[in-house]
Amino acid sequence: MTSHSEQISATLVYPYLNHAVRMYESGYATRGDVDAGMRFGCGYPVGPLQALDEIGLDVVRDALAARYAESGDHLHQPAELLEKLVAEGRTGRGVGRGLYTWADGAVVADEETPSSDDAPRLRHEVRTVGVVGTGTMAAGIVEVFAKAGHEVTYVGRSDDKLAGVVASITKNQDRAIAKGRGDEATKAAVLGRLHGATSREALAEVDLVVEAIAEDLAVKTELFADLDRICKPGAILATTTSSLPIARCADATSRPEAVIGMHFFNPAPVMKLVEVVTTERTAPEVDETVRALCARVGKVAVSCGDRAGFIVNALLFPYLNDAALLAEQGTHSLVEIDAAIKEQVGLPMGPFELLDVVGNDVSLAIQQELHREFGEPGLAPARTLEEAVAEGRLGRKTGAGFHDYS
Ligand code: 3HC
């Protein structure tokens, strides 16, 4: 008999695994990038495709088929590839073949595994970096580059906002020192690489700019047109948008080949993933340079196309939304659902804890975008997520979200 918390985890996790198979079978992302995305972007112990092999493709397929028979929701219908692999007897780790090839309980390299010869190289020199923005993501991105030894010019709207970035990086450096992982000399060196400015003109000579300002297309296109005017020829212009089309930012410039997405995860200094998002016009050497740069600053890069949600948000937010839908049924409390996910699945945070960290306004906007892009009725935002936003319960930043932080 399955326990209460096993039921919760299967209800929430199996559709997420199915969605990951669909993403892989559609060719949007490679098997390795789907798994690396969830491991390094969200701190999951294993990626969804490897998790499927470990649970057994037949087990997940049967559970989904039973659920689909009840719900009729296409999101619960087992993915074609899942059906095919099960029909071929490739049910996962137990038989040595599933989505991956296995030997002695571990994944072995196969025809889809990249070799070390494929490691990206820096095609353009990137020494100095610019960041536009002073919010949480911007401050984290400034810190990532400064810690890796880059001089960073960051642009904000006021001296107070610039000081906020220094304060956040100082706090993280002090925490590292307190934990015995840093020293005063390193802290001074990191802070010495920060160059705040209130004018964008300060970005004229940087090799790469990452923007992390408001998620508003008009605001971003104005910025990209201005960066195109200000930045030297050859400078790469990157956006950390999570939901807007990068092609539209590229269209605002005379250098669409140098425009790319670098989607960092929250908290940026800790989460190792960067989704590198290319448009049809991004130059291959710009893509390769940015992926090599990610490796140089200690991040793992995965490659994505310019589509709502990229890899991680497209898999993560439907699962978070499903958690809200499950809670709405009234049979499980928020605390029970959070605990089941942490204890049964080993994820670092429960869904409601994570929603409150990301912000319910941000989460709702992403879910609305996914609903629009994929047109699946099952992706409609949960009523309680909409209510939380309407009532101003945005999460930790407002002192209350799904949970209370007062
Ligand atoms: N800034 C800098 N460092 C931080 C930090 C912050 N805001 N928060 C935590 N850290 C550091 C701590 O110093 C600590 O480092 P140490 O162990 O080396 O000293 C390390 O991170 C672990 O922190 P804690 O021990 O305090 O706490 P946890 O063990 O609970 O880990 C966590 C915190 C790393 C955030 C972990 O809970 C986690 O991985 N959560 C999942 C986060 C996630 O899913 N993020 C993705 C959200 S989606 C997104 O960002 C996309 C966007 O488009 C919305």
pLDDT tens-digit series, residues 12-24: 999 999 999 999 9
Atom of ligand 1 nearest to the CA of 359: 54
* Nearest residue to 364 (alpha-carbon basis) of 267, 246, 242: 242
Ligand 1 proximity of 175 Cβ (cutoff 6 Å): yes
Query: What is the C-alpha to C-alpha distance for residues 311 and 305, in angstroms, rounded to an integer?
Result: 9
Are the CB atoms for 231 and 237 separated by under 8 Å?
A: yes
Q: Is 263 a catalytic residue?
A: yes
Confidence of residue 1 (pLDDT cuts 50, 70, 90): very low
**Buried/exposed code over 3-22 (b: 16+ C-beta within 10 A; e: otherwise):** eebeebbbbbbbbbbbbbbb
Ligand 1 proximity of 264 Cβ (cutoff 6 Å): no
pLDDT tens for residues 130-157? 999 999 999 999 999 999 999 999 999 9
Atom of ligand 1 nearest to the CA of 179: 19
- Output the CA 26–ligand 1 centroid distance in Å: 31
The contacts of residue 1 (CB under 8 Å, 6+ apart) are none
Q: Which domains does the chain have, with CATH numbers?
A: 4-114 (1.10.1040.10), 128-305 (3.40.50.720), 312-398 (1.10.1040.10)
Ligand 1 proximity of 230 Cβ (cutoff 6 Å): no
Ligand 1 proximity of 358 Cβ (cutoff 6 Å): yes
Q: Is 242 a catalytic residue?
A: yes
pLDDT tens for residues 25-74? 999 999 999 999 999 999 999 999 999 999 999 999 999 999 999 999 99
pLDDT tens for residues 252-269? 999 999 999 999 999 999
> Long-range contacts made by residues 94-101, C-beta under 8 angstroms, separation at least 24?
94/56, 98/52, 98/53, 98/57, 99/21, 99/24, 99/31, 99/49, 99/50, 99/52, 99/53, 99/57, 100/31, 100/49, 100/50, 100/53
Q: Is 313 a catalytic residue?
A: yes
**Whole-number pLDDT of residue 338:** 98
Q: Which protein residue's CA is at the shortest distance from atom 17 of ligand 1?
A: 179
Are the CB atoms for 190 and 221 separated by under 8 Å?
A: no
Q: C-alpha angle with apex 169: 166 to 172, nearest 5 degrees?
A: 150
Q: Which of 9, 266, 313, 363 is catalytic?
A: 313
CA distances from 327 to 48, 64, 143, 351 (A): 23, 20, 37, 11
Top mutation candidate among 16, 270, 271, 345 for ligand 1, by most atoms within 8 Å of CB: 270
Ligand 1 proximity of 270 Cβ (cutoff 6 Å): yes
**Buried/exposed code over 279-305 (b: 16+ C-beta within 10 A; e: otherwise):** bebbbeebbbbbbbbbeebebbbbbbe
**Whole-number pLDDT of residue 112:** 84
Query: What is the C-alpha to C-alpha distance for residues 353 and 345, in angstroms, rounded to an integer?
Result: 15
**DSSP per position, 196-235:** EESSGGGGTT-SEEEE---S-HHHHHHHHHHHHHHSPTT-
Confidence of residue 2 (pLDDT cuts 50, 70, 90): low
- Output the CA 183–ligand 1 centroid distance in Å: 21
**Whole-number pLDDT of residue 315:** 98
109 has pLDDT over 90: no
Q: Which protein residue's CA is at the shortest distance from atom 39 of ligand 1?
A: 43
Q: Which of 76, 263, 332, 371 is catalytic?
A: 263
The contacts of residue 58 (CB under 8 Å, 6+ apart) are 86, 91, 92
- Output the CA 28–ligand 1 centroid distance in Å: 28
201 has pLDDT over 60: yes
Query: What is the C-alpha to C-alpha distance for residues 329 and 258, in angstroms, rounded to an integer?
Result: 48
The first and second tokens of residue 102, run together, are 């296995």
Q: Which amino acid is at 295?
A: A
SS3 262: strand
Q: Which of 143, 275, 353, 369 is catalytic?
A: 275
pLDDT (average), residues 285-297: 98
Ligand 1 proximity of 43 Cβ (cutoff 6 Å): yes
pLDDT tens for residues 207-242? 999 999 999 999 999 999 999 999 999 999 999 999
Percent of the chain residues topping a pLDDT of 90: 94
Ligand 1 proximity of 313 Cβ (cutoff 6 Å): yes
Torsion on CA atoms 295, 296, 299, 305, rounded to nearest 10:
-50
Q: Which protein residue's CA is at the shortest distance from atom 6 of ligand 1?
A: 267
Task: Give the pTM.
Answer: 0.96
Atom of ligand 1 nearest to the CA of 176: 19
Ligand 1 proximity of 179 Cβ (cutoff 6 Å): yes
Count the neighbouring beta carbons within 10 Å of the beta carbon of residue 207. 19
Q: Which protein residue's CA is at the shortest distance from atom 2 of ligand 1?
A: 269
Q: Is 275 a catalytic residue?
A: yes
CA distances from 228 to 40, 213, 258, 262, 285 (A): 32, 16, 10, 17, 19
Confidence of residue 107 (pLDDT cuts 50, 70, 90): very high
